[in-house]
Amino acid sequence: MLELVAQLFPDEFAELDSYCRRSASYVDDRIGRFEREVQFYLAYLDYIAPIRARGQSFCYPQVSTEFRELRLVGGYDLPLAAKLAREGASVVGNDAQLTGDERALVVSGPNQGGKTTFARMIGQIHYLAELGLAVPARSAEVFLPDRIFCHFEQEERLSTLRSRLENDLERMHDILAEATSSSLVILNETFSSTTLSDATFLGKAILQRLLERGLFCVYVTFIDELASLSGATVSMVAMVDPVDPARRTYSILRRPADGLAYAAAISHKYGLDYEQLKHRIGS
C-alpha cells in the first residue's frame, strides 16, 4: 500500500530517500566524542586486565599540585609487568618516598638489579597519574609535575659528530633550560662515558643544579658520592641475594650506597673470567 502511496507522491518520497542516503553515516557529535574518549579508558583497562588477573595492584593516586611529596608503595614498571604477565610471571614492586625537603632519589647498586626499571617506573607513575588513570602501585600520593624530562643514554653515532659525553651534556643543558621547579627529571647512567673523576665532578655539578631548581628527580648512577650529596638526596640501593650475588632480587631499598656492583658475578656467569675465556678462545 505504501508503495502505491509513494507512486502517488513521487517528489516527496524521492526527497525522503535522498535524505536517508545522505544521513546514513551521521553520528551525533557528542556520541562520537564519547565513543572516541571512552575508547581510551577501555584500551587502558584492556591493557592492564592480564596484569590485574595476576593479582598485581592498581590504585588511583592521590594527586596534588601543592604538596611536594611522593609516597609510593609497591610501584612497578607497567610494560615490564605486561610482558611478564604474557609469560606467566609477576614483577617485583618497590616503595619510594620523598618527604619534606627531599627532592632526589639517587639509585645505585648492582648491574641488572632493576635500577633502570625503577627509574622508568617512577616516570610512568607520574605520567599515568597526570592522565587520570589507575597507576601500577598499591598506593600512591603524587605531586603532579608540569613536565617530565628523561635523560637516558644514547648510542654514539657518527652522524651527530659529537662525542657521547658532549651529547649527554648538550641534552642535559637543554633539559635544564626548560625545566621548572615543578618538573620531574629522570636521569639514567648519565656521564658514564668519561673517567670516574670526571663523572663524579659532572654528576655532582648537574645534580646540584637540579636541586637548586627545587625540582623532583630520579638519578640512576654508579657514583656513590651522589647519593649523599645533600639533605635533599635519598639513597636507594638495588639489592642482591646475599647467598648468590649473581641472583638479583629486583628490590630497591632506601639505604646508604655500598659501592658494590657485583659485576664479577655476571661476567663469571657468561664465562668471561680470565681462565674461562682463555679456554674458550680458539687458536
Partner 1 sequence: MKPQLLYRDDVSVTQALPTNIDAMMGDLELDTLFSAMAAGDGFLYSAAKEVILTAPPEPATILYRQQILDDCLQQPTVFQEIYGVALEALDVQRQHYFGFIRANPGSTLSGSIDVLDAYIPLLRHVRTIAMQSASMARSPGFKRFIEMVQHELSDTYLDEIATHVRNLKSGRGVLLEAAVGHVGTQIDYRFLRPAPTGWRDFVPSVLSHDAYSFDIAPRDDAGFQALESMRNRGVMHVTNAVAHAADHVRAFFEALRTELAFYLGCLNLYGRLMAMNLPVCFPTVTHPGQAVFSATGLYDVSLALQLGEQGQVVGNDIAADGISLVIITGANQGGKSTFLRGIGLMQLMAQCGMFVPAAQARMNIVTGLFTHYKREEDTTMTVGKFEEEVRRMSDIADAIASGSLLLCNESFSSTNEREGAEIGRQVVDAMTDTGVKVFYVTHLYDLAHAFERHPGSGVLLLRAERKESGQHTFKLLERPPLATSYGKDLYCRIFDDDDAVCTETAPTGMTPALDDR
**Would you give the DSSP letter of residue 70?**
E
List 61's β-bridge partners, or say none. Answer: none
User: From the list 12, 37, 170, 241, which residue makes contact with partner 1 (rule: CB under 8 A)?
Assistant: 170
Q: 98 vs 265, which CB is nearer to partner 1? A: 265
What is the largest distance, in Å, between two alpha-carbon atoms of the chain? 101
Amino acid letter, 42: L
Q: 74 vs 79, which CB is nearer to partner 1? A: 79
3-state secondary structure of 24: coil
**Could you give the C-alpha distances from 185 to 93, 200, 223, in angstroms and in order?**
21, 19, 18
Q: 253 vs 272, which CB is nearer to partner 1? A: 272
x-marked contacts with partner 1 along 253-282 as a string, rule CB under 8 A: ------x-xxxx-xx-xxxxxxx-xx-xxx
Beta strands in 101-223 (DSSP E): 104-108, 139-143, 148-151, 184-188, 216-220
x-marked contacts with partner 1 along 52-91 as a string, rule CB under 8 A: -------------------------x-xx--x--------
Q: 10 vs 282, which CB is nearer to partner 1? A: 282
122 is a site residue for partner 1 (CB under 8 A): no
User: What string of DSSP letters covers 129-144?
Assistant: HHHT--BSSSEEEEE-
124 is a site residue for partner 1 (CB under 8 A): no
User: From the list 166, 180, 230, 256, which residue makes contact with partner 1 (rule: CB under 8 A)?
Assistant: 166
Q: Which of residues 194-223 bind partner 1 (CB under 8 A)?
A: 194-199, 201-202, 205, 222
Q: How far is the CB of 201 from partner 1 (least distance, A)?
A: 6
Question: Is residue 193 packed enough to be buried (19+ CB in 10 Å), middle (13-18) or exposed (0-12)?
Answer: middle
Q: Which of residues 97-116 bind partner 1 (CB under 8 A)?
A: 111-113, 115-116
List 140's β-bridge partners, or say none. Answer: 72
Report which secondary-structure segment, H or E, holds 51: helix 29-53
Kindly indicate which of the ranges 25-33, 39-47, 121-129, 169-177 contains the residues binding partner 1, using the contact rule CB under 8 A: 169-177
List 219's β-bridge partners, or say none. Answer: 106, 187
Q: How far is the CB of 197 from partner 1 (least distance, A)?
A: 5
List 218's β-bridge partners, or say none. Answer: 105, 186
Q: How far is the CB of 164 from partner 1 (least distance, A)?
A: 8
The cell numbers describing 124, all together, are 610512568
Q: Which residue has the cell 586486565?
A: 49
Binding site for partner 1 (CB under 8 A): 77, 79-80, 83, 111-113, 115-117, 152-156, 158-159, 161-166, 169-170, 173, 176, 188-189, 191-199, 201-202, 205, 222, 259, 261-264, 266-267, 269-275, 277-278, 280-283
